[in-house]
């Protein structure tokens, strides 16, 4: 039996555009919440600097992808409306207004709060005017030795066209004039990317931005002429790409698109606010953009580089270090691989990163599969990973020892495409079978399957997670993983892998909800079951934890459930198109976002309909692309202990009154605050304590 394809599932409720919030504007609201943390004096200083840096990185990606897409729609002259009813030009106008306000607030926070606070702590971000004579001598020597050799002035004139400006690179725009002829030329000097952005000068904690050092010595690049004006500018280009559905060789197609990305259309030009109108006009003409794409910036451009300062060795200005704990049931597994599989067979294991150690849980599982002589096969689906991930090494070791090692690599993982290509080649050279999926559909599921020979029979073990197999981000991203030997779940995963690497359509899944086949219809069925229970006066509750909730059909189903009387709580980290607490529409729906020390990344779906309770975790957000155009997996959490742990996570997140924001019916976000009689509750701090207590209880039992 072939399962119903979710593209055939539609909502039973029509939803007018005014009942939805705009996706792009909602994402900018998330960026504003990040910026609010940069201005929060209760947070350690270098952590605030980090949030200021993250805001700039977030906005860069927003323009590279979301704004680039809207500009493409606007230029097509087609009549296109977003789900909330805005045309591309209307959305772009509102985005510009929001971004101008956002970067203006960021500039104020940097200049009036963070920079003075850093100076008070002996970290002075200054300029050439702050340098003593000995400092200037040191800078002169460094410039000649380390900077000047890698600079290339590019002038514009007869036979010298306007130079190509690479995306996200920092540059100096210069007007130079010949004092004899009076001829004036425009020139561009690229700020080298291989050098620190903030140069430590002298011994007094002074840091000078690299562009200011280069600007000070510009005369050496333009001998015999006068520098009339200089300004810092930066270009953002379209960084998204599409691979043809009929690409015969997916790897070659992605490599070709990566080469094209460098030359994507310009979507934004940032220029220092001191630049003259003549300079801005010259840049706009040379880059072929209109004035709506030019942003004058009062603070230093590209504050993403503040991450250099956030990483300074000043523990007194940072959060207390967090050391993930070894999950109790993984204790001793590194030295006894077979014991780990026995432990998983004894009952499902749920882990919660970064509170539980990623290395001591998933990477231990992968290493056990490579080391255990009874393991005959390991398959994994990788969306993003890091160079230091033990997963890659485990796949290679398994292949070297004659195990069947298979890796499904998603080449189209945005901004990680090149890295994925590089290490997939390394895997192939080591004998790992590498598959690249589909040109028209990303493999976003995070799952690993191990087959082990036990007593003459083959037994399967699996890990299904909400996060990428990425050792570096696992220390900062909040995610949930489930280890199971359940026959139905592991059989579903085996068939999914065969579908991706083979040819055909998967048959009916036993327990998993899999996009684009059964995930949408499965979630809709769960929501409708809760709505029916509410209509019958029974227990009816929905709790969702996602990064994004923007699919209009799912929103419509949630509205219908609310109107039936169901209690609904949504934790949406980034974007939410649903309007909560609207009379007669969504009165029983509450939406919150948690932004803090860790990046909330797990996806959890919990439904209570009468006496029936179901809970899923997995890789999918509530977006059309995830539900209909990707390979995604949700797994039911059936173990009582594991389900209790997931519900405890939800309880804590819904009780946060420190780093939570609440969404109003008008689309505005308000930061939660404890009442006079309420105790402060930080979800992240509570999870750190909870994990540590579990580890202590395990230690006491062993003792």
Same domain, 536 and 556: yes
pLDDT digits (tens, 9 = 90+) for 575-594: 999 999 999 999 999 999 99
Enter the tokens of residue 528: 């409708």
> CA 386, CA 472: separation in Å to the nearest integer?
7
1 within a domain of the structure (yes/no): no
Least confident of 214-223, 343-352, 386-395: 386-395
Structure-model confidence comparison of residues 48 and 413, the more confident one: 48
Residue 157 is predicted with a pLDDT of 86
Between CA 235 and CA 237 the distance in angstroms is: 7
Last residue of a domain, one of 458, 473, 501: 501
Mean pLDDT (whole number) for 22-51: 97
Residue 294: predicted pLDDT? 97
DSSP 89-138: HHHHHHHHHHHHHHHHHHHHIIIIIIHHHHHHTT-EE--GGG--HHHHHH
Q: Is the peptide bond prior to 516 cis by the omega test (within 30 degrees of 0)?
A: yes
Return the bridge partners of 270, or none. 234, 295
Q: Are residues 318 and 44 in contact, defined by beta-carbon separation less than 8 angstroms?
A: yes
Specify whether 474 is located in the same domain as 542: no
Among residues 352, 444, 548, 684, which one is catalytic? 444
Better pLDDT: 696 or 339: 339
pLDDT of residue 502: 80
Nearest-angstrom CA–CA distance, 610 and 392: 45
CA distance 238 to 240: 6
Q: How far is CA 159 from the centre of its chain?
A: 44
Q: Does the residue 31 lie in any domain?
A: no
Torsion of CA 263, 264, 268, 270, to 10 degrees: -20
- Inside any domain, residue 101: no
Looking at the structure, do residues 497 and 527 belong to the same domain, yes or no? no
Over residues 115-137, the mean pLDDT reads: 94
- Give yes or no: residues 593 and 448 share one domain: no
Residue 131 falls within a domain, yes or no? yes
Per the CB < 8 A criterion, the answer to whether 580 and 662 are in contact is no
Section 110-129 average pLDDT = 96
pLDDT (tens digit per residue) in 330-370: 987 766 888 999 999 999 999 999 999 999 999 999 999 99
What CATH number is given to the structural domain containing 669? Answer: 3.30.870.10
SS3 84: coil
- Given a cut of 80, is residue 426 above it in pLDDT? no
CATH number of the structural domain spanning residue 158: 3.30.1840.10
pLDDT average, residue stretch 177-189: 93
CA–CA separation, 330 and 342 (whole Å) = 11
Whole-number pLDDT of residue 415: 55
Over residues 131-145, the pLDDT tens digits come to 999 999 999 999 999
Spatial neighbors of 130 by CB under 8 A, at least 6 apart, are 124, 206, 208
**Final residue before a domain boundary, out of 447, 467, 501:** 501
Q: Does the structure show a pLDDT above 60 at 250? A: no
What is the rounded average pLDDT of the residues 454-469?
94
Catalytic status, residue 132: no
Query: Is residue 655 domain-shared with residue 683, that is, in the same domain?
Result: yes
Strand order in the sheet with 184-190: 153-156, 184-190, 170-177, 226-237, 266-272, 294-297
Residue 4 has pLDDT above 60, yes or no: no
Task: Give pLDDT, residue 204.
Answer: 84
Indicate whether 106 belongs to any domain.
no
**Residue 505 pLDDT level (bands cut at 50, 70, 90):** confident
Work out how many domains the chain is built from and give that number.
3
Whether 493 shows a pLDDT value over 90: the answer reads yes
DSSP 459-480: EEEEEEESS-B-TTGGGTEEEE
Higher pLDDT, 239 or 315: 315
Looking at the fold, whether 563 and 649 belong to one and the same domain comes out as: yes
* Residue 149: other Cβ atoms inside 10 A: 9
My answer on whether 540 and 492 are in the same domain is no
Residues 311 and 333 in one domain: no
CB-CB contact of 261 with 447 (8 Å): no
Look at residue 456 in the predicted model and tell me its pLDDT. 87
The reported pLDDT for the residue numbered 491 is 96
Q: Are residues 523 and 463 in the same domain?
A: no
Q: 60 in a domain, yes or no?
A: no
Q: What is the structure's pLDDT at 331?
A: 85
**Is 81 domain-assigned?**
no
Which of 138-152, 436-450, 658-672 shows the lowest per-residue confidence on average (mean pLDDT)? 436-450
Contacts of 672 (CB under 8 A, 6+ apart): 592, 656, 657, 658, 660, 661, 662
pLDDT for 35 beyond 50? yes
Residue 457 lies in a domain: yes
Residue 427's domain spans which residues?
328-501
**Are the beta carbons of 271 and 173 closer than 8 angstroms?**
yes
Q: What are phi and psi of 606, to 5 degrees?
A: -120, 130
What are the tens digits of pLDDT across the range 284-327? 999 999 999 999 999 999 999 999 999 999 999 999 999 999 99
Select from 468, 515, 492 the least CA-distant residue to 633. Answer: 515
Q: How far is CA 129 from CA 8, 205, 243, 591, in A?
A: 66, 15, 51, 49
Residues 378, 479 within the same domain: yes
Higher pLDDT, 675 or 293: 293
Question: What's the confidence (pLDDT) of residue 61?
Answer: 94
Structure tokens at 200: 């430590």
Rounded to an integer, the average pLDDT of 144-160 is: 92
Which whole number is the average pLDDT over 101-116? Answer: 97
Among the candidates 293, 317, 341, a domain finishes at 317
Confidence check: pLDDT of 127 > 80: yes
Nearest alpha carbon to residue 233 among 198, 187, 195, 183: 187
Predicted confidence band at 423 (pLDDT cuts at 50, 70, 90)? low
Distance CA 447, CA 618 (A): 9
**250 and 383 together in one domain:** no
- pLDDT average, residue stretch 216-225: 94
Q: Is the pTM of this model over 0.85?
A: yes
The answer, yes or no, to whether residue 2 has pLDDT greater than 60, is no
Confidence grade of residue 216 (pLDDT, cut at 50, 70, 90): very high
Q: Please give the average per-residue pLDDT across 467-481, as a whole number.
A: 92
Do 466 and 600 fall within a single domain?
Answer: no
């Amino acid at each position: 039996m072939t399962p119903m394809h979710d593209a055939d599932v539609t909502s039973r409720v029509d939803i007018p555009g005014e009942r939805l919030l705009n996706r792009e504007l909602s994402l900018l609201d998330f960026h504003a919440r990040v910026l609010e943390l940069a201005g929060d004096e209760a947070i350690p200083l270098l952590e605030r600097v980090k949030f200021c840096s993250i805001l700039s990185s977030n906005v860069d990606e927003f323009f590279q992808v979301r704004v680039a897409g809207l500009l493409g729609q606007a230029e097509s002259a087609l009549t296109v409306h977003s789900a909330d009813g805005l045309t591309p030009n209307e959305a772009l106008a509102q985005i510009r207004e929001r971004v101008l306000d956002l970067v203006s607030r960021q500039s104020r926070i940097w200049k009036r709060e963070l920079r003075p606070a850093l100076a008070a702590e002996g970290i002075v971000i200054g300029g050439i005017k702050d340098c003593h004579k000995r400092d200037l001598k040191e800078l002169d020597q460094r410039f000649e030795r380390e900077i000047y050799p890698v600079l290339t002035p590019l002038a514009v004139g007869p036979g010298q066209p306007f130079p190509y400006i690479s995306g996200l690179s920092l540059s100096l725009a210069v007007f130079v004039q010949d004092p004899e002829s009076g001829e004036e030329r425009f020139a561009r000097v690229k700020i080298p990317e291989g050098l620190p952005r903030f140069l430590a000068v002298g011994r007094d904690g002074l840091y000078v931005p690299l562009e200011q050092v280069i600007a000070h010595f510009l005369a050496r690049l333009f001998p015999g002429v006068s520098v009339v004006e200089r300004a810092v500018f930066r270009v953002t280009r379209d960084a998204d790409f599409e691979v043809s559905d009929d690409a015969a060789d997916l790897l070659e197609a992605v490599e070709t698109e990566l080469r094209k990305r460098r030359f994507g259309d310009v979507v934004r030009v940032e220029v220092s606010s001191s630049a003259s109108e003549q300079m801005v006009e010259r840049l706009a003409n040379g880059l072929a953009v209109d004035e709506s794409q030019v942003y004058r910036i009062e603070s230093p451009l590209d504050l993403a580089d503040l991450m250099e300062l956030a990483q300074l060795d000043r523990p007194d200005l940072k959060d207390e270090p967090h050391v993930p704990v070894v999950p109790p049931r993984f204790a001793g597994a590194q030295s006894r691989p077979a014991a780990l599989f026995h432990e998983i067979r004894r009952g499902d294991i749920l882990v919660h990163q970064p509170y539980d150690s990623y290395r001591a849980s998933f990477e231990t599982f992968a290493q056990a599969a490579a080391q255990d002589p009874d393991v005959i096969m390991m398959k994994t689906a990788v969306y993003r990973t890091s160079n230091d991930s033990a997963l890659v090494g485990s796949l290679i070791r398994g292949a070297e020892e004659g195990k069947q090692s298979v890796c499904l690599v998603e080449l189209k993982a945005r901004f990680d495409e090149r890295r994925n290509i590089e290490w997939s080649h390394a895997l192939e050279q080591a004998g790992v079978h590498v598959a690249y999926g589909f040109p028209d559909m990303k493999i976003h599921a995070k799952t690993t399957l191990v087959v082990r020979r036990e007593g003459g029979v083959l037994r399967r073990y699996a890990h299904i997670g909400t996060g990428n197999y990425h050792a570096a981000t696992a220390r900062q991203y909040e995610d949930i993983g489930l280890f199971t030997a359940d026959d139905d779940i592991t059989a579903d995963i085996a068939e999914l892998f065969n579908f991706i690497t083979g040819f055909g359509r998967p048959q009916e899944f036993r327990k998993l909800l899999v996009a684009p086949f059964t995930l949408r219809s499965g979630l809709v069925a769960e929501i409708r079951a809760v709505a029916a229970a509410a209509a019958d006066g029974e227990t009816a509750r929905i709790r969702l934890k996602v990064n994004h909730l923007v699919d209009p059909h799912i929103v419509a189903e949630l509205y219908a459930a609310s109107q039936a009387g169901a209690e609904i709580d949504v934790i949406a980290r980034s974007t939410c198109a649903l309007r909560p607490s609207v009379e007669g529409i969504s009165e029983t729906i509450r939406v919150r976002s948690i932004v803090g020390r860790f990046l909330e990344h797990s996806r959890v779906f919990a439904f209570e309909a009468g006496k029936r309770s179901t809970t899923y975790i997995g890789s999918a957000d509530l977006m059309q692309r995830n539900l209909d155009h990707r390979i995604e997996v949700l797994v039911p959490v059936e173990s009582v202990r594991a389900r209790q742990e997931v519900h405890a996570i939800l309880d804590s997140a819904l009780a946060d009154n420190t780093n939570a924001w609440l969404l109003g019916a008008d689309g505005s976000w308000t930061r939660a605050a404890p009442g006079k009689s309420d105790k402060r509750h930080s979800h992240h701090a509570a999870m750190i304590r909870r994990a540590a207590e579990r580890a202590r209880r395990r230690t006491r039992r062993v003792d």
